[in-house]
Chain A
Amino acid sequence: MGERPSSHLRVREQDDIAIVEFADRKILEELSIQEIGEELDQLVEAGSAKLLLNFRNVDHLSSAALGMLITLNKKVKEKHGVLKLSDINRQIFEVFKITRLDRVFDIHESADHALASF
């Protein structure tokens, strides 16, 4: 499947894994977080059980974005799917560590590492 048009996400599929990149550098604005959450929900609802979120374009985030990721993670688990994160820059990884969310999410250094671990 080719790249699907989307306002906030770039999604491509490799084998049965949906690889998601963020089009915005800031997953921050309340409205865009809500929309990103909805788009990701749709992916899960449409049957993408294996999801990789690539953070390489992201250089800032907020607690609301973390909340959206937690809600997504729960939804993926309910569907017996797997959510992995990759390419999180040092400063943003620090946010995950401070909030101890590095224990909640399966975080990989690179997309290749993450893909190999599904």
Chain B
Amino acid sequence: MTAVIQAALNGAMMGAMYGLTALGLTLIFGVMKVVNFAHGSLLMVGMFSAYWLIRLTGIHPYLALVIVPPVLFVFGYYLQDVVIKPVFKAEGQVREPLTVIIVTTGVWYVLDNLALMLFGAEYRTVRTAISNKSFALGEFIISIPKFSGFVVAIATAIGLALFMRKTKTGKALRATSLDREAANLMGIDQYRIYNIAFGLGTAIAGIAGCVLIPFYYVYPSVGVVFDIRAFIIVVLGGLGSIPGALLGGLVIGLIESVFSQFMASTWTEAIIYAIFLIILFVKPSGFFGHKQDW
């Protein structure tokens, strides 16, 4: 029983972070109706940014949390503006243009392999002020980097939800998400909103990068590992839903951690796919998705 509770605690912490890696993906889909295949690469960029910042300056990872996301916002904003927007413009009438998916796949290949050319294939870790630290909660051991990741993930989700509700930009994002044409008619510049959404999604990948670096390693194709999981999470939670991403992440994290106490951990991967497919057939819109989206 102790092992199961320990596994559940760990699963919840990892799950929240998986949710965080999926948050940017779901935001971009919600607004742009596009699955961003480059999302894992953006996460990789976030992780490398955090890695180099901490490695070269030795700053505390919490401090990296205020530096990396704004930089990634700018990166994402212009990436969408320069690379993805032209395709959108060409296919303005299509609701879910497949060509945009393909362009994001191209971005994925370019970013991952640029990283390979620049930094090499090796695995890199950096010792931060909180790496390898843990505290005891009764007989359970809580890892400090994971616990702070958990807190940051939930705070980010709440912050994003508030931003979408309370601010003018957030409302414009939601309006575009609900009805592109109507938003256009109301004087919202659709493409600027896309830039902002993509920038925000990238900034969240930057947050995830800062949170992962204290206990995880980075290498050029690290994004792929998180990518597939993030896809599953957003579909589980409902494409475009912020609480859905967090909940989906928690579910996956818990399954992965708790189920592996009863079977070989290689099987939990198969179980995650099975549960994913079952939910998809029973309730294709996921936990919080809109029917129109699937």
- Are A and B subunits of one complex? no
Q: Chain B residues in contact with chain A, CB under 8 A?
A: none
Q: Chain A residues in contact with chain B, CB under 8 A?
A: none
